[in-house]
Amino acid sequence: MNRKTIFFDLDGTLLGTRDGRMFQIPESAVFALNELKRNGHRVAVCSGRPEPFIHRFFPGLFRSFVASNGTHVVFEGHTVFDGTFPPERVRALMEHFDAFGCRYLFVGKNHAWARGIERGLFARLGANYALPGFLVADWKPEEIRANMMDFVFRDEEDYRRQEKAFTGGMVMNRHPGGLTADLSFADSDKASGIARFLEFSGIPREDTVAFGDGYNDISMMKAVGCGVAMGNAVDEVKEAADYVTEDLFRDGIYRGLKHLRLL
């Protein structure tokens, strides 16, 4: 068998909430990741999360990743692409989303710059980002070093109102089960990040696999040789995938890899 490169989404795929505790990793998934490496395969992350989040929860495990919804690509420790917004784009995005009354954050590797978000939400948002000191409330556009954007909704009505702002190739990827979403663009998403990764590395698409569960994983399913949806994935991901495994906490990663005969 050829050496495979397997991309893993994080939230809902490798990490989840169990017994009220966030960011739990099934033991079977950790075993599977290490076994893949022992078998000579390459493991990589493909997530909307920034690089520091990956290293915090999987220290020393991943040297290759497509982070921040495809805008930060690293192959074996070498930076392939870093799509940080230039200041003029930051201002243009602010003008656009402010006109719709959106509540959002510019998200970079080390900070997220919040706009229109009440201070009372900072504790909850900070817990979701899981990186100390990550949120910034007071800032100027020229200070931002962001690769992507996240959005926050008060309720369903607020979501429907903000949804109207996503035009011209912008894609809102709503997070399952919550009142948050992230933003990707037609030319900047997980699929484009994987394409850059493969072009740089020379890895054939047919030697790639991806596991995912959320809306921003739909493009990823179509960018690899074999797409695997978690059992807890949204229906649209399952429809785009080549195979559907079990839920995250029903050993979905391990069982999916066994089904593909990678373990």
61 neighbors 43 (Cβ within 8 angstroms): yes
* pLDDT, mean of residues 188-211: 97
Range of the structural domain that residue 149 is part of: 87-185
Token pair for residue 80? 């392939």
Q: Is the pLDDT of residue 177 over 80?
A: no
Same domain, 64 and 181: no
36 backbone dihedrals φ, ψ, rounded to 5°: -60, -45
* pLDDT, mean of residues 79-92: 96
Give the whole-number percent of the chain exceeding pLDDT 70: 100
* pLDDT, mean of residues 205-212: 98
Domain end (from 140, 167, 185): 185
Q: Indicate the pLDDT class of residue 113, thresholds 50, 70 and 90.
A: very high
Please report, for residues 3, 43, 187, the alpha-carbon distance to residue 75 in angstroms, rounded to integers and kept in the order given: 15, 11, 20
Same domain, 220 and 166: no
pTM, entire model = 0.95
**What is residue 67's predicted lDDT score, i.e. its pLDDT?**
97
Please tell me the total count of domains within the chain: 2
210 neighbors 193 (Cβ within 8 angstroms): no
Q: pLDDT digits over 121-165, tens only?
A: 888 899 999 999 999 999 999 999 999 999 999 899 999 999 999
Same domain, 24 and 58: yes
Q: If we measure between CA atoms, which residue out of 156, 158, 180, 146 comes closest to residue 69?
A: 146
Same domain, 164 and 151: yes
Same domain, 156 and 179: yes
User: Which 8-state DSSP code applies to residue 59?
Assistant: T
| Residues 66, 80: Cα–Cα separation, whole Å | 10
Token pair for residue 190? 């997980």
Same domain, 166 and 123: yes
Per the document, the length of the chain is 263
Q: Indicate the pLDDT class of residue 179, thresholds 50, 70 and 90.
A: confident
Give CA 140 to chain center in angstroms.
26
| Residues 14, 90: Cα–Cα separation, whole Å | 32
Q: Sort 245 into a burial class: Cβ within 10 Å, 0-12 / 13-18 / 19+.
A: buried
**What is residue 1's predicted lDDT score, i.e. its pLDDT?**
67
Q: Read off the CATH number of the domain in which 197 is found.
A: 3.40.50.1000
Domain end (from 166, 185, 204): 185
Domain end (from 125, 155, 185): 185
**What number of H helices and E strands is found in the chain?**
9, 16
β-pair type (135-136, 112-115): parallel
Q: Read off the CATH number of the domain in which 102 is found.
A: 3.30.1240.10
Same domain, 149 and 193: no
Q: pLDDT digits over 101-110, tens only?
A: 999 999 999 9
Same domain, 95 and 138: yes
